[in-house]
Amino acid sequence: MRDSFLLFAPPLIGDEEIAEVVDTLRSGWLTSGPKTERFEREFAEFVDAPAALAVNSCTAALHLALLTSGIGKGDEVITTPMTFAASVNVIEHVGARPVLVDVEPDTLNIDPRRIEEAITERTRAILPVHYAGHPADLDAIQRIADVRSLVVVEDAAHALCAGYRGRDIGSGHNLAAFSFYATKNLTTGEGGMLTGPPELLERARVLSLHGMNRDAWHRYDETGTWFYEIQQPGFKYNMTEIQASLGLHQLARIGPFQQRRREVVQRYDEAFAGLEEIETPTTRDGIAHAHHLYVLRLLPCAPVDRNAFVDELRARNIGTSVHFIPIHLHPYYRDKYGWQPQDFPVAFANYQRIVSIPLNPTLSDEDVDDVIEAVHGVLDAHRE
C-alpha cells in the first residue's frame, strides 16, 4: 500500500506559470489588462472560437451567457441533473426555472430523446453539460432547439480539448462556458472563459465589469480617460492578470497534459477491463473525449457499495470524488420543485454507484499502479 495520500486532482503548475505571475506582480498592473486580452485571443484560437471573454469563474460565464441570451423571469431552461450545482444555480440567479431532463445511461449526458417532452411554451434554452469531458449529443440537441427557436448554452467546464463530430467544443455559434477551477484540465486557480458569437460576447463583456462601456477597460492606461458610463447594473466578473498569467502557460502546455490524461485512461481501461464488478467509462464514435474525469461504476454484483468503496480506497491512501450528487437531491431544489429521487431514475441509480478516481497529469506511473492496485485490493478483500 502507498504510504502517502494520493490527492484526487492537484494542479500541475510549472516554473513558467510561477515566473509569469511574478512578472505580473512586478509589472504594476494586476487587474484585467494585456495578459488577459492575450489569454482570450490564444484561447479563442486554440478552441477555434469566434470570440472569447475571460471571467473569474465558469459560473460567471454561465450567468452572463443566460443574461445575454435574454433569459429571465418566467422562462424555463432545460438542463441535466448530473452536474455541479453552478449549472443550475445560474438559472435561479436570472429568475428562470430549471427543468431537469434525465441522462443517457451510457454517457450520463442529458438524454436528447427526453428533451422534447420537457418543453413548454415557457422554454427558452437548453443547457447541456459535457459530463466528464464526453460531449453531449449536440446535433440531436440542436435539432430540437432549432425547431423551437431555443438557445443552447453549453456548460463546457469539463470539455476543454473535447470535440464533437470534428468540431472543437467552444468553436460553434453557441455560447460555451469553460472552467479554470483548481481541479479542471486547465487552471488559473479560479477562472473561466465564455466563447461564442462576438456580438453576444461584447454584451457579456459590458456586464462582466459593472456594466461600464467598453472603453472603461482602458481608462487607466495612457490612452484612457477618467470618463465612463454605466449602461446597466453589471457584475464584477472580470479576470485578473494574475489568473491570466497562469492561464497562458497552462494553455501552452495543454497538449502534454492531455497526452498524460490519455495514457492514464488507457492504463485504467486495460487494468479494469477484466473486472466483472466494475463498469469503465464509455466513449462514443465521432467524439473526442477531454478526459476530465474517470468515473468508475460499481455493478450490482459488486461485493461492496459505493460509500464503502470510497472509504476503503481512502484507507488505502487513494483520494476519490463523486460527480455528482444529482441536482434534484439537494434540499433547495428538492423542496422548491418537489422533486423525488425517482423523478430522474437514471441519474439517481447512477449516483449510487459512481466514483471518480484520480485522473490528472501529475500522476506518475507508480501513482497509477497504486490506484489500480487499490481498486483490485478493495474488491479482492470483499471476495475472500
Q: What is the DSSP letter of 205?
A: H
DSSP-derived 3-state class of residue 61 = helix
69 near ligand PLP, rule: CB under 6 A: no
Of 57-65, 94-102, 162-170, 376-384, the segment contacting ligand PLP by CB under 6 A is 57-65
What is the footprint of ligand PLP within residues 321-340 (CB under 6 A)?
none
Selected from 39, 84, 272, 344, the binder of ligand PLP by CB under 6 A is 84
User: How many Å apart are CA 174 and CA 127, to the nearest integer?
Assistant: 10
87 near ligand PLP, rule: CB under 6 A: yes
Selected from 9, 21, 49, 58, the binder of ligand PLP by CB under 6 A is 58
User: How many Å apart are CA 284 and CA 135, to the nearest integer?
Assistant: 9
83 near ligand PLP, rule: CB under 6 A: yes
Establish whether 184 is a catalytic residue. Answer: yes
Compute φ and ψ for 42, nearest 5 degrees. -70, -35
192 near ligand PLP, rule: CB under 6 A: yes
Q: Rounded to the nearest whole angstrom, what is the least distance from the CB of residue 366 to ligand PLP in the complex?
A: 28
DSSP E strand stretches across 260-314: 278-279, 287-288, 294-298
DSSP E strand stretches across 18-57: 52-55
Q: Rounded to the nearest whole angstrom, what is the least distance from the CB of residue 55 to ligand PLP in the complex?
A: 9
Give the Cα-Cα-Cα angle 201, 205, 209 (nearest 5 degrees).
165
Residue whose CB is less far from ligand PLP, 158 or 306: 158
Contact 251, 35 (CB under 8 A): no
Selected from 179, 238, 350, 356, the binder of ligand PLP by CB under 6 A is 179
Give the Cα-Cα-Cα angle 107, 49, 45 (nearest 5 degrees).
115
Of 70-78, 151-159, 263-271, 309-317, the segment contacting ligand PLP by CB under 6 A is 151-159
Selected from 76, 137, 155, 241, the binder of ligand PLP by CB under 6 A is 155
Amino acid at 123: T
129 near ligand PLP, rule: CB under 6 A: yes
Q: Rounded to the nearest whole angstrom, what is the least distance from the CB of residue 97 to ligand PLP in the complex?
A: 19
Q: Rounded to the nearest whole angstrom, what is the least distance from the CB of residue 107 to ligand PLP in the complex?
A: 14
How many C-beta neighbours within 10 Å does residue 363 have?
22
The closest alpha carbon to 327, from 296, 308, 351, belongs to 351
Compute φ and ψ for 128, nearest 5 degrees. -80, 150
Catalytic residue numbers, as ranges: 184
Residues that bind ligand PLP (CB under 6 A): 57-59, 83-84, 86-87, 129, 155, 157-158, 179, 181, 192
